Amino acid sequence: MQKTGSPMRQKFIEAMTYPRMLMSSHIDASDCPMNRYFNPSHGSCQICEQGKECHWLNSNDEFSALVDQPMDALVAAFEFSVDYVDAYLSRENHSLRRCACENCCWLRDARRLIKKYQNKQKRAARNAHN
Ligand SMILES: [Zn+2]
């Protein structure tokens, strides 16, 4: 049986498909001695400019692993990808408020999803104190 987790978790996992694609298309692996397998204890990974993205891709590539992640870690990984897409779009001069391209739509949805999660957490914390 396939594990799916909560609907919220599933949304985060599905939303990560897009930044995963974007990051892997941006990483230039032509002179990567590790063949894009990130190893934090390897010298060339420690000094690599693309190390953060590469590490992210290596730790967030399989749905099955993400289903077992603690929710906090999953959301933190998601936030990293949101920042990544955000930085990419500002470099490319997209206007997040007005632009209707796929990237900007993804980013708006991603932000909404994080907000929704945070509100849910706040509500849960309030209920726990009552
Ligand atoms: Zn755009």
How close is the Cα of 107 to the center of ligand 1, in Å?
A: 9
How close is the Cα of 90 to the center of ligand 1, in Å?
A: 9
How close is the Cα of 117 to the center of ligand 1, in Å?
A: 24
Identify the pLDDT of residue 2.
55
Identify the pLDDT of residue 78.
96
What global pTM score does this model have? Answer: 0.86
Identify the pLDDT of residue 75.
96
User: In this structure, how many other beta carbons lie within 10 angstroms of the beta carbon of residue 25?
Assistant: 8
Identify the pLDDT of residue 62.
64
How close is the Cα of 43 to the center of ligand 1, in Å?
A: 37
Following CA atoms 94, 99, 102, 108 in sequence, which dihedral angle do they give, to the nearest 10 degrees? Answer: 90
Tens digit of pLDDT for each residue in 66-99? 888 899 999 999 999 999 999 999 999 998 788 9
Average pLDDT over residues 44-67: 85
**Nearest CA-CA partner of 85 in 47, 114, 119:** 114
**Nearest CA-CA partner of 51 in 40, 62, 61:** 40
How close is the Cα of 89 to the center of ligand 1, in Å?
A: 7
What residues does each domain of the chain span?
Answer: 7-129
